[in-house]
Structure 1
Amino acid sequence: MSGINIITTENKRLYPADIYDDVRKIPIIDIDSIYDILYKQRSILVVSNQYDQYGNELKAFNGYLKKEDIKALYYIKDEEDSSNLSEVMTLSEAAKKWGFSDGSTIRKAIERGKFETYEIKQAGDIWITTYSAMERVFGKIKNEEKEFIIYDDFEGYLYNLCLKDFQKSYLKIDNYEVNDKLYEYIKNILKEALDSIKEGKKVIFKVKRNNKTKQIINTEKELLVYIKLLCRRRLMTEKRNERLIKELFS
């Protein structure tokens, strides 16, 4: 499917996005015209399907966006694979995660043709790339073995706890203590992740099968967002999620 793709500063993906002039309410299909409106400090009206950073579909988006609300905006052709857009990063974000002082190292790699055309995109004055592209070009982050690594089988524990909690909710059993052993295991891993961040380390989520990087978290705020999104991903009940956030961040 072709169309305009928007990545918001909240890491929501809007695609395919129908965009309208905020004054005349007429559709705009030209990217340059859209940027012209945004750089004039005006808003655009966007009607679109909406997805979180993991590709889960959210409630359809119908609202206004300003330049500061948008991380990237670009056109996707039919033949392009958009399946990995959930792991998109700006060059400055990628530089921070890979330990570069700024995005200039990555820009030089782009100029030298190190990236494949599908691994990078220029959206206005912003370049974006992905975890898989960064890892292919620059390799694993420096001193990765010193960082805190969580493999994707961790999500299996999350799913099992969520399933058991839903079963108890369905049976109208208020006592969740039966599942607390599994919950404590999950909480301890995330507490170690939080403590690692406080010590200046990164939290790296990896695929166990091929050791590929899925996500890198640098800050407590990023970890909090990850935990909050567990509900949307149906990997944790709201009740558990509220308790976990309270116990970790209070």
Structure 2
Amino acid sequence: MGIIKKTFYTGVLTGASVLGYLGATTTLITPLPNDDPVWRSKSYARVNVHRNAAMHDVAVKRIPLDKIKPSLLQKDGDLTLEFCRSVWGGLGYRFQRNYLARKYQGAATAKQLWTAQQLRESTYERGTQLTDHFEVIEKTKAEIVVRCGDSPRNAGPRPSDGLFIIGTHVDKARGEVVLELKSVFFDSSRKTEGIHSSVPSWIEYPHRWYSRLLLETASWNLTR
């Protein structure tokens, strides 16, 4: 672990330094292109039933293949699963996990994943619920799709809804592993007009840096 990572743990870095580091180690693409697979996915069609306008982006990180733990490249799906475990069980999600636990952990949510150990060990099968804010709705070897925006106990349409897609693939031409955290947020509770998302604009900026933080800190557990 390098000095930058150590300073994250000790809290020495200033906010500006953190943003500078994330800006140098990750890439943000927004908006998503019209041909992105998410727009044709069954998950998107099922959740965004009204096809309302959405806020969308993807945070991307590329890592040389020779820096990835070899055990994660031996079987298809292992890298994606470990990446997902590292997103939720890692440093980047710690504060939000603790905050949600204080508010919502109890008898009604006892079957959900709450502890860092549970989040690091889950296989994230479809139907898995975590921290009363996320639910796995699709799992493939390349992607784990999580519904977000409200409690998974609210299974119906929601004013705040969305998909968070945790994905990996190997770029053989460049000899790199590509990690992606893709977000699509919308109102699924009713039909809305216009081409602009109903998500407040003030949410966009912190959300995108937070996605990059989750991406970067999760990547640390995948490298040797």
TM-score range with shorter-chain normalisation?
A: under 0.3
TM-score norm. by structure 1 comes to 0.25
Choose between structure 1 and 2 for higher RCO, CA contacts under 8 A separated by at least 6 residues: 2
The structure carrying a bigger strand percent of its residues is 1
- TM-score relative to the length of structure 2: 0.27
Determine which structure has more spread, i.e. the larger CA radius of gyration. 1
